[in-house]
Amino acid sequence: MGEIGRGRLLLGAFPTAEAAVAFADRVSAAPAAEVARLWSRAREAFLSSANGAVEPQEADADAGTLETLAEALDASLFRSSVEGRSWRVASVAVESLATSQPLVQLARVAALSRRMGEDGLLRMLFPSRGSVDARVEAPGGASIALVTERADLAVSKIEARQADATGPIEVVFRLEPRPNYLTVLRLGTRLVVRNGNHRLVAAWSRGVRRVPCVLLDADEESFAERPDRFAPDALRGRRAPRIVDLVEPSDASVDIELAARKHVTVFRAEQRWSREER
């Protein structure tokens, strides 16, 4: 697992100093007093900058793009993630995309920019394969834990194996990276990035102004309150936080040293009695 490094925080998009401090405390070791001091100026700069309510600019993806992405969009984990929802592959203007993510990790943006130069835009936005970068820990008792830097692993299969009737039973968990495709949600007249903030910042920095994406109609669950996201009201307001706000340093943002964090998936065996119905 690599070093975390520095991140760019869109400080001025938080409606209050308290909200900004609470978020910064989760992701960095920046002193609360310093974050609160910087917030006022950043907020003023954010609100006085170009209107964030840019009209969505979407169009149908071209036939070549659809053909290239056909296999990726047929992956079982992707299909299950959009099951029961209306979606399509569309072409959108990056400048019109709002973001609910207050921060990007600068080292990751740089790595994705290099990857785009090597593999091209589509393979960066719609990776055909992911890697499982995790370590196994034994927290004690009948349990194991998988520790990763990001919460992008999904349990795709659980299987019980027994070689013979009296032999031990083995339980196998299959974990795979979730499909990490560029996904955008339609929230009223606004388009909000659901997944792919770092890739969009990398693409814009390399001169890309329109990108293909999976476009979904938003539901209430999509914009539930989360401690690692801007509040839904911020996305509906006149001045929404946008992807392009995170591309370059500005008076509305601040670059901070990030704290190392880990995501833990625990598998625990429990034994109990239950009544057998007849």
Exposed (0-12), middle (13-18) or buried (19+): which is 7, by Cβ within 10 Å?
A: buried
Alpha-carbon 186 to chain mean position? 16
- Whether residue 264 lies inside any domain: the answer is no
242: DSSP letter: B
More confident residue, 35 or 270: 35
pLDDT of residue 125: 94
Domain range enclosing 110: 51-131+178-245
- Whether residue 86 lies inside any domain: the answer is yes
- Whether residue 182 lies inside any domain: the answer is yes
- Whether residue 257 lies inside any domain: the answer is no
- Whether residue 42 lies inside any domain: the answer is no
Alpha-carbon 239 to chain mean position? 22
Confirm if 251 and 41 have CB atoms less than 8 A apart: yes
Distance CA(30)–CA(276), nearest Å, equals: 56
Mean pLDDT, rounded, for 59-67: 92
The total of structural domains in the chain comes to 1
More confident residue, 2 or 46: 46
> Would you tell me how many other CB atoms lie within 10 Å of the CB of residue 79?
11
pLDDT of residue 85: 84
pLDDT over 70 (residue 56): no
* Digit-coded pLDDT (tens) for 120-129: 999 999 987 6
Could you tell me the CA-to-CA distances from 114 to 93, 214, 227, 255 in Å, in that order? 22, 23, 31, 21
Does pTM top 0.85 for this prediction? no
pLDDT of residue 1: 45
- Whether residue 34 lies inside any domain: the answer is no
CATH number at residue 215: 3.90.1530.10
pLDDT of residue 189: 82
pLDDT of residue 220: 64
- Whether residue 117 lies inside any domain: the answer is yes
pLDDT band at 240 (very low <50, low <70, confident <90, very high): very high
Residues in CB range of 203: below 8 A, 6 or more apart: 94, 116, 121, 124, 125, 211
- Whether residue 226 lies inside any domain: the answer is yes
pLDDT over 70 (residue 132): no
pLDDT of residue 238: 86
Confirm if 227 and 103 have CB atoms less than 8 A apart: no
Confirm if 94 and 201 have CB atoms less than 8 A apart: no
pLDDT band at 91 (very low <50, low <70, confident <90, very high): very high
pLDDT of residue 216: 92
Element (H, E) at 60: strand 58-60
pLDDT band at 103 (very low <50, low <70, confident <90, very high): very high
Mean pLDDT, rounded, for 132-138: 73
pLDDT of residue 2: 47
